[in-house]
Amino acid sequence: MKSPLFDAHDHLQDYPSKAESAEALRLAAEAGVELMLCNGTSPGDWEQVLDLAAEHKGVVPCFGLHPWFLRESPPGWLEGLESFLVRVPSCVGEIGLDGGKNATGLARQEGVFAVQLRLAKRLGRPACLHCVKAWGRMLEIIKEEKPGPFMLHSYGGPAEMVAEFASLGAYFSFSGAILDAKREKLRRSLSAVPAERLLFETEAPDADAPGWRAGPAGIVEVVSAAAVILGRPAEEIAALSWANGNKFVGDIRTLKNGNP
Ligand SMILES: [Zn+2]
């Protein structure tokens, strides 16, 4: 593809070693991936995310407390989070709600989520959101908190909710799951997203779709699959997601050392 590529969501710190993440990034660069959002999930990995972004141009760090890891949040985690955010231009994420079986009570999740959305808004940072089986509450909290730009990563909500989320400023990111022809509901959601809010991601190092290259280089296959579903040339979808990704990251690039 001629257009540079944008990977809207990955976790490079989860590679078993630095050598492996470096190799994945080398392959990604070869495939034309020039920008990606590397998401931290708990205080235990923020330092690694910071290092990866410092070592690799094009890796934008994101710091947040993911709903799966609420038990790993020591007292003072929120102040810790802010101190990472103000050190470098960065986004808030991965944060959100998870109504699935591994998560702690939703009430606690909602408090932790809302407080991080407020921090993102106060610092003028885009937010990368996780949501599983909690779409109604997600919508209510977004309406209450009115954050700045936010992305619903690996969007799995109904197609019918896309327009309302979009009106509140949402970007929607789709993963390699769209490669699965059986995921009709997901493919309908993809088609419902306004062109200017469309993003794609790999969730690297995970790669759970057949035919999907592991690592951020796999964004090539995700974009190609989306192009087929949308009936557009792959080049056009690649250019669109590159433009949207840059718009999403947008303002934080004008920050100096993370400070406004
Ligand atoms: Zn993730």
Whichever domain contains 174, its CATH number is 3.20.20.140
What per-residue confidence (pLDDT) applies to 136?
Answer: 96
Residue 41 — very low, low, confident or very high, per pLDDT cuts 50/70/90? very high
The fraction of the chain above a pLDDT of 70, given in percent, is 94
In the numeric block, the tokens 């040339």 are attached to 233
Q: Which residues surround ligand 1, an ion (CB under 5 A)?
A: 94
- Termini Cα distance of the chain: 35
Residue 107, CB-side half-sphere exposure with 13 Å CA sphere: 0
In a domain? residue 4: no
Spacing, Cα 240 to ligand 1 middle (Å): 22
Spacing, Cα 66 to ligand 1 middle (Å): 9
In a domain? residue 214: yes
In a domain? residue 5: no
In a domain? residue 218: yes
Q: pLDDT digits over 135-191, tens only?
A: 999 999 999 999 999 999 999 999 999 999 999 999 999 999 998 889 999 999 999
In a domain? residue 7: no
Residue 241 — very low, low, confident or very high, per pLDDT cuts 50/70/90? very high
Beta bridge partners of 6: 35
Total domains, the chain:
1
CA angle 100, 106, 108 (to 5 degrees): 135
In a domain? residue 143: yes
Spacing, Cα 10 to ligand 1 middle (Å): 6
- Looking at the whole model, is its pTM more than 0.85? yes
Range of the domain at 150: 12-254
Q: Which stretch of 6-10, 136-140, 156-160, 253-257 has the lowest confidence by average pLDDT?
A: 253-257
Spacing, Cα 153 to ligand 1 middle (Å): 8
In a domain? residue 192: yes
Spacing, Cα 189 to ligand 1 middle (Å): 19
In a domain? residue 85: yes
Spacing, Cα 225 to ligand 1 middle (Å): 20
User: For residues 222 and 179, is the Cβ–Cβ distance under 8 A?
Assistant: yes
Spacing, Cα 250 to ligand 1 middle (Å): 21
Please tell me the distance from the alpha carbon of residue 85 to that of residue 138, in angstroms, as a whole number: 23
What per-residue confidence (pLDDT) applies to 1?
Answer: 80
